[in-house]
C-alpha cells in the first residue's frame, strides 16, 4: 500500500498510516512539490493541496488510486466527475477552517472600513504629521448592513460575528430560506462578503454591473475564490471612487497579482491566508489523514465529496 502527499504536512502522516497498515509506504516531501512531480504509479492514496490540479491526466498516471484527500474545503482544483467515474473517492476539509476563515474575512472587513493599510503605510513612511480631525476617515460598521453571498458554514460564522458587531445581515444563497437575490444584496448592502464556492454560476459574480449598483460607501470582501470577482471591474470601481474599499484574500491567477491590483487604492490585499491558523491547518491535515485511512480501510470517510463512490468494507 502506498500513500503519496504532494506537500509536507503539520501532522505525522507516515506514523498514522503505518500504525494502521504496518507495511505501507508513505511518501511526504519536505515542502510542496506539486502533483506533477509525484510518482503516482503505485499510489493508492494521494494527499494534495488546492495548488494541485487533479484531473484526468493525474488519474491516468495513478491506476491504483482509491482516494484523493484535498487539503482545503474548496475543491475547484479537482475534476470531481473524472474521479467519480474512475471510482476514486474525494475528501475535503470542511468545518475545521470555518472560524479561521470567518475571522480573516472579518479582519479584512475591519481593515477596509478603517483604512488600516493606508494608516500603517503612513506611520511606516516616517511622514506622519500627527493627529488630524479629518485624517483617514473610515466607515463605522455598527448599524450597517452586511450582505453575505453564500450562507454556508463560513457565511454563517461571518453572520454571527457581524451580528455581535451590531450589523444587520442579509444574504443570497440558493439553499437558504429568507435569501435575497444576489442583485438585491449588492444594491442594499454596505459590505458584501463572498463565502460561496467557485462554480460556473459564481465565476465573475462581482462584475461591473453589480459594482455600479452598490452604494458609493460600499465595501467588497473576498475570502472565497479569486475568480468569483472580475478583478478589472473591481479596480475600475476603486480607482473611479465608485465604491469605498475592497479587501481580497484570493486572486484569479494566484500567485500572479496584476500590477493594477497591487497599485490599486483602497484595496486591502492578503496572500490567501483564510485558513492559515496553526489550529485550522493542523486539523485540515488531520482530516486528510483520516480520509485516507478510512478509504484504505474500506470505509466511508467523514468528508466524502463524491458520495456516488461505493465503499466495500
> Which CB, 112 or 198, lies closer to ligand GLV?
198
- According to the binding rule CB under 6 A, does residue 50 interact with ligand GLV? yes
Altogether, the residues listed in the chain come to a count of 313
Helix, strand, coil percentages for the chain (3-state, nearest 5): 35, 15, 50
The smaller minimum CB distance to ligand GLV, of residues 46 and 296, is found at 46
**Can you list the alpha helix ranges (DSSP code H) found in 73-181?**
80-85, 98-113, 116-125, 153-164
Site for ligand GLV in 128-157 (CB under 6 A): none
Least Å distance, CB 92 to ligand GLV, is 8
CB 217 within 8 A of CB 239: no
Considering only 147, 150, 226, 274, the residue that binds ligand GLV (CB under 6 A) is: 274
Shorter beta-carbon distance to ligand GLV: residue 50 or 169:
50
Q: Is 254 a catalytic residue?
A: yes
Which is nearer to ligand GLV, 145 or 224 (by Cβ)? 224
Active site residue 272: yes
Cβ neighbours for 133, distance < 8 A, ≥ 6 positions apart? none
Q: Write down the catalytic residue from 225, 231, 266, 281.
A: 225
Ranges within 16-45 binding ligand GLV (CB under 6 A): none
> Exposure pattern of 73-85 as b/e (b: 16+ CB <10 Å)?
bbbbbbbbebbbe
- Residue 48 CB, shortest distance to ligand GLV, in Å, is 12
- Is residue 101 within 8 A of residue 250, CB to CB? The reply is no
CB 121 to ligand GLV: min, Å: 27
Which residues within the stretch 53-112 sit at the binding site for ligand GLV (CB under 6 A)?
72-74, 97
Q: At what angle do helices 153-164 and 98-113 cross, to 10 degrees?
A: 50
**Which helix H or strand E contains 3, and what residues bound it?**
strand 2-5
- Per the listing, cell 472587513 goes with 109
* Catalytic residue of the set 118, 254, 260, 300: 254
Report the residue from 98, 202, 275, 306 that binds ligand GLV according to the rule CB under 6 A: 275
Residue 192 CA to residue 218 CA, distance in Å, equals: 8
7 binds ligand GLV (CB under 6 A): no
**Active site positions, annotated:** 225, 254, 272
Q: Name the site residues for ligand GLV (rule: CB under 6 A).
A: 50, 72-74, 97, 274-275
Amino acid at each position: 500500500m502506498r500513500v503519496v502527499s504532494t506537500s509536507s504536512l503539520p501532522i505525522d502522516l507516515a506514523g498514522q498510516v503505518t500504525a494502521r497498515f504496518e507495511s505501507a509506504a508513505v511518501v511526504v516531501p519536505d515542502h510542496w512539490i506539486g502533483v506533477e512531480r509525484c510518482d503516482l504509479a503505485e499510489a493508492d492514496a494521494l494527499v494534495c493541496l488546492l495548488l494541485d490540479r487533479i484531473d484526468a491526466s493525474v488519474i491516468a498516471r495513478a491506476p491504483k488510486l482509491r482516494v484523493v484527500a484535498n487539503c482545503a474545503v474548496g475543491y475547484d482544483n479537482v475534476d470531481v466527475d473524472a474521479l467519480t467515474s474512475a471510482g476514486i473517492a474525494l475528501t475535503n476539509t470542511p468545518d475545521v477552517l470555518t472560524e479561521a476563515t470567518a475571522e480573516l474575512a472579518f479582519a479584512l472587513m475591519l481593515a477596509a472600513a478603517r483604512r488600516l493599510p493606508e494608516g500603517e503605510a503612513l506611520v511606516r513612511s516616517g511622514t506622519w504629521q500627527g493627529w488630524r480631525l479629518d485624517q483617514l476617515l473610515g466607515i463605522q460598521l455598527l448599524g450597517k448592513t452586511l450582505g453575505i453571498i453564500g450562507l454556508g458554514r463560513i457565511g454563517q460564522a461571518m453572520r454571527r460575528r457581524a451580528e455581535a458587531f451590531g450589523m444587520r445581515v442579509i444574504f443570497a444563497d440558493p439553499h437558504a430560506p429568507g435569501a435575497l437575490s444576489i442583485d438585491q444584496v449588492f444594491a442594499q448592502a454596505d459590505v458584501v462578503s463572498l463565502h460561496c464556492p467557485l462554480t460556473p454560476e459564481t465565476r465573475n459574480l462581482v462584475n461591473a454591473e453589480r459594482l455600479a449598483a452598490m452604494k458609493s460607501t460600499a465595501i467588497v470582501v473576498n475570502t472565497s475564490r479569486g475568480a468569483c470577482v472580475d478583478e478589472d471591474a473591481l479596480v475600475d470601481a476603486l480607482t473611479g471612487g465608485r465604491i469605498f474599499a475592497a479587501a481580497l484574500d484570493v486572486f484569479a491567477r494566484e500567485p500572479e497579482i496584476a500590477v493594477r491590483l497591487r497599485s490599486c487604492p483602497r484595496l486591502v490585499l492578503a496572500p490567501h491566508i483564510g485558513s492559515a491558523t496553526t489550529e485550522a491547518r493542523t486539523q485540515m491535515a488531520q482530516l486528510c489523514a483520516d480520509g485516507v485511512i478510512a478509504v484504505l480501510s474500506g470505509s466511508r470517510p467523514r468528508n466524502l465529496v463524491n458520495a456516488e463512490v461505493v465503499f466495500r468494507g
